[in-house]
Amino acid sequence: AGFVPPIAGIPIGVIVAIVCYYSIVLMKTKLKFDDSLDVFAVHGVGGIWGALATGIFASSAISGTPGLLEGNTPQMLTQFIGVVAVAAFAFAATWVLGKLVDVTVGLRVGQVDETVGLDLSQHGERAYGGLLR
């Protein structure tokens, strides 16, 4: 909002839907990523596309800064640097917080809890009312 015209939302949305769908498929089938909510495939990959798409579709009539489609090629480098900077910050912050949790309360549950499942071992009930077995 504030950088691209509303009509640009159509190609941005269509492309992000396709890219996120195939990111989920790739991460689950080929990479065997254990991401039960597909958080990275949806929000990470979708956010990366959104940031890059802003550099493509930005309109000088809306934001004063033209995008790639208006001939401002350097804007793509700016968007790419932003993506890399945010990814580096997110990785570093996640690593630090993960280490902090690991040394205080631990990141893993016991083998029995992991095998039985946390819904049953921690909450005393089965997920989805026992419909999935």
What confidence category does residue 119 fall into, taking pLDDT thresholds of 50, 70 and 90?
A: confident
CA 50/CA 39 separation, integer angstroms: 15
133, pLDDT greater than 60? no
Q: Is the pTM here over 0.75, yes or no?
A: yes
Mean model confidence pLDDT for the chain: 92
Q: How many CA atoms lie within 13 A of 133 on its CB side?
A: 3
Q: What is the pLDDT of residue 117?
A: 82
What pLDDT, in 10s, does the model give residues 21-72? 999 999 988 998 877 789 999 999 999 999 999 999 999 999 999 999 999 9
Tell how far CA 121 is from the center of its chain.
Answer: 30
Among 6-20, 64-78, 118-132, name the one with the lowest average pLDDT: 118-132
Instruction: Bin 60: left if φ > 0, else alpha if -120 < ψ < 50, else beta.
Output: alpha
132, pLDDT greater than 60? no
Q: Where are the alpha helices (DSSP H) in 1-133?
A: 9-25, 39, 45-57, 60-63, 74-104, 111-116, 118-123
CA 28/CA 48 separation, integer angstroms: 19
131, pLDDT greater than 70? no
Question: Is the distance from CB of 55 to CB of 68 less than 8 angstroms?
Answer: yes
- The Cβ of residue 122 has, within 10 Å, a number of other Cβ atoms equal to 11
Q: What is the pLDDT of residue 44?
A: 96
Q: What is the pLDDT of residue 130?
A: 60
